[in-house]
Structure 1
Amino acid sequence: MKRLLLLFSIAIVSLGMGIPVHADQPSPIGQPSAFSADTQSTGDNSAQTLRAGERTLRIPSSTPLPIEGYRWPTRKLKIYMKTQDKALQIAFRNAVKAWNKTGAVHISWCQDEEQADIIAQDGSLTASAPTATVGYVSSQLGSTSTEYNPDTHAMIRARSTLDAGQLDYTSRTFRTEVAEHELGHALGLAHAPEYVHSVMIPRNIKTGITKNDRATVRILYGLPQ
């Protein structure tokens, strides 16, 4: 099969409490996730290939914070709310508003999951780490999986998951920050170093979207800081 037809899927488990998982192999494009899981190919899918577009996207060589190495071919994105959990719905909606305020993208809600670029959902993330990793995670708060075309660097679909069971006893602000972190991955941002001021640090989030996050996502989508 020609490489042009391959669509890669990355599962990125992005937030956790306890001992972090360290992947044996980095993600095929961009920065490896501190909580990354196995990478697999999804094979040929002509409909998704059309969604990705044919033009190779420009990916900046340097940004204030790490990026994955791919992005959406458009700045206007659609997101579908798949969770029925009211607290998580509020967190996702607040996170969408926060990323829209950066001016880098405009994410709007849609009623058709098939037409959505991003799926906002809930799920249990407390399972033990895959055997391909070293260490374990006692509990995880959120994860994001992305599909992209490795030849054009174009994102095709992203799924951001929040674990309601792990977030039930946290504050509304903290749940929003976790959702902002996961949607950051859905936009193409990677984990930031623990010492920087960013919503993209992989553990112990202490802030929402910062100037560093805003500058990075704007550069990624070809806009001035």
Structure 2
Amino acid sequence: MKKHLLIITIILVGILLLPVHVAADNVLTAGQPSVFDAPDDGQLSVYDDSSQAVQAGKHRLYLPTNTPTPIENYRWPTRKLKIYMDTSDRPIQQAFKGAVQAWNRTGAVHIKWCRNESQADIIARDGALSNTGAAPGVGYVSAQLGSTNTEYNPDTNALIQARSTLDASHLDYASRSFRTEVAEHELGHALGLAHAPEYVHSVMIPRNIRTGITHNDRKTLRQLYDVGR
């Protein structure tokens, strides 16, 4: 009987809950890019020996401690990654492309675009993530802007696949720089970074993001992928 490997699938809800104004004609127009966090959700998945889990590496990968930006308990077993664009929305495409360039500039990883989804480590896509629950303030609703779903092998700390989703229905109203920062946050999750507390200067802060990738994020990713250690 083949030995089963346990792979944990988690959904990292990254940039969330952008206040959007409900106009008199019911058209949603983006308000200030202030974002709020929401609880993460998760699932458990099991893969057998024939799955790509075995290909992720049989040895436990190195994970640093006390990093400037918090990390999850996983990373990719290689620094060279492939990403597939699964959206035709131009603003979202621009955001993901800008985010890939920004993470590549850290020198910790090299993410390359590919045309075959089955060969990709990371899937970049758009989707309806809206949450219409009540929010403080008259005339406002909340909308989730992005989420990242990752699968990893807890025995080796190896990431298997990541899917990052941005909500075009709300981000298309935001500025190009803000969309890119949202994409940077989500791809940060896809690379193994966790949410950062409010006091840390990081793109991984889930509330009120005012910056892109910072020195803390670059240093953390280089430590995570054992660059120059």
CA RMSD of superposed structures (Å): 2.0
Q: Which amino acid is 1:77 matched to?
A: L
Give the letter for the 1:67 counterpart.
Answer: I
When residues 73 and 121 of structure 1 are mapped into structure 2, their CA distance, relative to the original with a 3 A threshold, is same
Post-superposition CA distance 1:27-65 (Å, at most 9, x none): xxxxxxxx3112322443623113311121011122111
Counterpart pick for 1:20 among 34, 37, 41? 37
User: Which aligned pairs between 1:68-87 and structure 2 lie closer than 5 A?
Assistant: 68-87=72-91
Residue in 2 that maps onto 1:38: 42
Structure 1: which 5+ runs fail to align?
22-34, 130-136
For 1:195, the equivalent position in structure 2 comes to 199
Whether 1:168 aligns to 2:185 is no
Q: Secondary structure at the match of 1:46?
A: coil
Match of 1:140 among 125, 131, 144: 144
Identity %: 63
User: Are residues 1:125 and 2:129 paired?
Assistant: yes
5+ residue gaps, structure 2: 20-35, 134-140
Selected match of 1:153 from 135, 150, 157: 157
> CA offset at residue 223 of structure 1?
1.4
Give distance in 2, aligned partners of 1:204 and 1:45.
43
Q: Which residue of 1 aligns with 2:105?
A: 101
Residue 219 (structure 2) aligns with: 215
- Partners of 2:2 and 2:220 in 1: how far apart? 32
Cα distance, 1:16 vs structure 2 = 1.4
1:115 aligns with 2:96: no
Q: Secondary structure at the match of 2:187?
A: helix
Task: Tell me the TM-score normalised to structure 2 length.
Answer: 0.84
Moved over 4 A (4+): 1-4
- Bigger Rg, structure 1 or 2: 2
Residue type at the aligned position of 1:188: G
Task: Count matched residues.
Answer: 205
Query: Is 1:67–1:188's contact at 8 Å kept on the other side of the alignment?
Result: yes
Match of 2:9 in 1: 9
Q: Deviations over 1:91-131 (max 9, x none)?
A: 000100000000000000000000000000000111468xx
- TM-score where L is the length of structure 1: 0.85
1:195 aligned counterpart, secondary structure: coil
| CA deviations over 1:124-164 (Å, ceiling 9, x no partner) | 111468xxxxxxx9311100010000000000000000000
Match of 2:31 in 1: none
Give 1:8's aligned amino acid.
I
